[in-house]
Structure 1
Amino acid sequence: MRIEGIDAVELEDFINRAIKEDLGDGDHTSLACIDEAAQGTANLLVKDAGVLAGVELAKAILAQLTPELSIEVFLEDGAKVAVGDIAFRLSGPSQSILKVERLILNCMQRMSGIASLTARYVEEVAGLKVQLLDTRKTTPTLRFLEKWAVRIGGGNNYRTGLYDRIMIKDNHIDFCGDVQTAIQQVLFYLVAENKDLAITVEVRDMAELEAVLEMGQVDRIMLDNFSPAEIKTALAKIKGEFETEASGGITLENLRAYAETGVDFISVGALTHSFQSLDLSLKKS
């Protein structure tokens, strides 16, 4: 099954691993209790307010695991949902509905929780030019799902992993000795390896910012744990010569203040590590 923006091979592999983990050599409870010929229907019920995510994933799971089931979709990914809404209805063999139930719920509850939290952050900066970014603070092997959910919630993805962008952070700087040495080493490496990667450099104070401005040759400056007032001062020094990003200590309560500084990007790890899953259930209809 092809889904825009999702690697089909990665998706298929994830579903296969999830099936193996949950199903093993069979759903023995359903095989024992439910007649093989029994047919039924079940509704995906929403039990929380939020943003729905994972409907397209559910379709892919069904196509791969239980193609004998049909799905009637009432609410698509990104829909704002309320308690009592029905996202979709499954119809077909009762054993198959029970076989796929937990896998679909586990994925959709998690993705919907991330999408819902992301949407709250996005709403908080409505009308401002800033872009809200996720981070690499994701569940191992589930990053593509969690970043997918961020997009559904209206946020933007940052780098996928360590391989698709240079990000010089505090530990890199400390191990190199100083920020200018770290930047120079990166530039040497990119030339030697014939790689074309954007460069973000993190600065922790005004002294490091001045050193980066003197050195240049980066794409984005990440202002880490700066207050909104400090960011305004930093932006006046940067003068639009580099992309700017605020990160660290940013919450829903102070997000608007950071966005109003005029910074280009705000990255928030909480989107994928501090969400609450949306309560969903699959019940016989």
Structure 2
Amino acid sequence: MVLSPKDTVIGFVGTGVMGRSMAKNLLKAGYRLNVYNRTKASARELVELGANWQDTVAELAEASQLVISMVGYPKDVEEVYLGKDGLLAHAKTGSYLVDMTTSSPLLAKKLTEEGKKKGLLVLDAPVSGGDIGARDAKLVIMVGGEAEAFNAVKPVFEVMGQNIIRQGPAGSGQYTKMCNQITIASNMIGVSEAMAYAQKAGLDPSRVLESIGGGAAGSWSLSNLGPRMIAGDFAPGFYVKHIIKDIKIALDSAQEMGLKTPGLELAKSLYEKLATEGEENSGTQVLIKLYNL
């Protein structure tokens, strides 16, 4: 089975910075779309483009064959899926449920097991690429779950992203996303220190970016967030409060495995400092502010 635009109704829960762009791309591809968000105003643009607003998660689940969630925290995922008015209680047998939130691998496994009991196919499919990747349908999508479910949903993933890989059974997508976040957390420290160093040395940081961005130092963060740092643009493509959440999930997972992650501990302390200074709703590139530029 393949979920094509012709005969598939998709429900989308969570229309924030990332979710709104992802849902918009689904509409552009011709999918019929039901939407729900805690704050209705956040979904207004999607409704104007043709999406159907649903008043509750339960109503959305009952009216959709595939439901995608893109919410904030693991506690939000638990509420959306496991609450008495949640997806698992109201989705139709045979429906597909895809959590694209960056969340706990253990929670992803639990949702899959609970879904199986009710004849539901559940995938964990966190993404990377930020607001730009979501807007341009170039997200990296890391998937955990059964191969059959992955193959059915893959055409939908292809509307939102380009690098789409099933990593293994339930929870594998979230474990892979933790690898991604561990890399980003330490890399952002390096990008910030490099930009601060360039300025202190009397260089033009923009010209430095031109030189080092295409070499061994190159990274997505350097190329996409380095210019924002230089411009003093701290609008969120990805919130400080969310990277702190992800780092905590990764640290918990690492502790369960007996793995030491000193770079991640450092990143956590720096981002928590920014949060205490009122920057929790800024983009992660605000880390440069700690260097007093």
TM-score, normalising length from structure 2? 0.25
Counting helix residues as a fraction of each chain, which structure ranks higher?
2
Q: Which has the higher Rg, Structure 1 or Structure 2?
A: 1
TM-score, normalising length from structure 1? 0.25
